[in-house]
Amino acid sequence: MHVRTRVITGLAIGVALSCSRERGADPAAPVALTGAGATFPYPLYRAWFAEYGQRTGVHINYFAVGSAEGQRLLERGEADFGATDKPVVPDRGAQGNACARVAVPMVRGPIAIAYNLPLATQGNAPLNFDAALLADIFSGRVRQWNDATIKSLNKDVALPATPITVVHRGTGSGTSRAFGDFLSSSGKWEGSRIGDTSEVRWPVGVAAEGNAGVALEVKVTVGAIGYMELSYARQNRLTIAAIGNRDGKFLAPGSGLPDYPIIADTWLLVDPAHIKVDRGRPLVAFVRWALSDGATQALEMEYTPIASDSAAHYHALLGKIDFARCASASRD
């Protein structure tokens, strides 16, 4: 059933993307761009697209289908741009190839650990977790909330004997990759990544689609724990854990906390060989705006914009793209 659902969903997305591109192809119509990929930055992207649309009239459709699927749709020509939380190699465009795909780092943000445990009481303070404890939980070694390993980090909390339900992503996800890397830092993580991809084999748990799906599953399941971009936990009013960093300090994610240990970066993919001139130039204009004017909105939503010197590098790199020549070369 799960596989069948994914296939049907994929077909629906493909149809929607194709229709969006056909509408945008009308030269008399307002510019309409289509993107697909990571759910991690979607709350910020949604705000950016709305603001930019009001300012310029450029309409941007975005399908939050996960990093891996977004890259596949871009490669098939079914999206004008992709978005991914997977670390990428240095872009070849910086080496003089003006038609190479450019991966632009947009922002970084915290991954929250949220849980649903109404019977745990410690005033308003969140529960504490570190990488070793989370590795035990997400590996299935710790299965109840009153386990001694949880109590050892939360001595003053009355923990119930509620079974733990682990909630994780069901498809390729940069959020999963970043969280898995944090678990691996403990030396106790028993999950595995499938090659150099964002696909993670989870030993236990319930799969959910996207950050939004993980947040919803945690919200409706007593005893659940899951990982997600911070905005999704805030929007669903979930209880957010404090995470131990390398200095032994337990911190909840949020702005002004650079030492919070679970962080993900996200990139926007511009591929000159797979986009027409009338779409490529407006796309570059949006990316330039997001790296500069969009930084304030990113901070307000608890994301961290890239440094100004890095932003200047990508402004220059995007300016070197010759979409007309790249499109012509791709047809040869």
pLDDT of residue 255: 67
Query: Please, is 176 exposed, middle or buried when counting C-beta atoms within 10 Å of its C-beta (0-12, 13-18, 19+)?
Result: buried
Q: Which band of pLDDT confidence, cut at 50, 70 and 90, is reported for residue 30? A: confident
Please state the rounded mean pLDDT for residues 32-41.
Answer: 95
Please write the tens of the pLDDT for every residue from 54-76: 999 999 999 999 888 998 999 89
pLDDT of residue 34: 97
* pLDDT at residue 3 is higher than 60: no
Q: What structural domains does the chain harbor? A: 2-108+264-331 (3.40.190.10), 110-263 (3.40.190.10)
* pLDDT at residue 15 is higher than 90: no
Please state the rounded mean pLDDT for residues 189-200.
Answer: 64
pLDDT of residue 249: 94
Asked if 73 and 65 touch (Cβ cutoff 8 Å), the reply is yes
* pLDDT at residue 10 is higher than 50: no
The single residue listed with the structure tokens 């399941």 is: 221
Q: Which band of pLDDT confidence, cut at 50, 70 and 90, is reported for residue 33? A: very high
Q: Considering the chain, what is the average pLDDT of its residues?
A: 85
Q: Which band of pLDDT confidence, cut at 50, 70 and 90, is reported for residue 13? A: very low
Does pTM top 0.75 for this prediction? yes
pLDDT of residue 239: 95
* pLDDT at residue 126 is higher than 80: yes
Least confidently predicted of 7-11, 105-109, 116-120, 140-144: 7-11
271-286: string of b/e by CB count within 10 Å (b at 16+)?
Answer: bbebbeeebbebbbeb
Task: Quickly count: other Cβ atoms within 10 Å of residue 62's Cβ.
Answer: 21
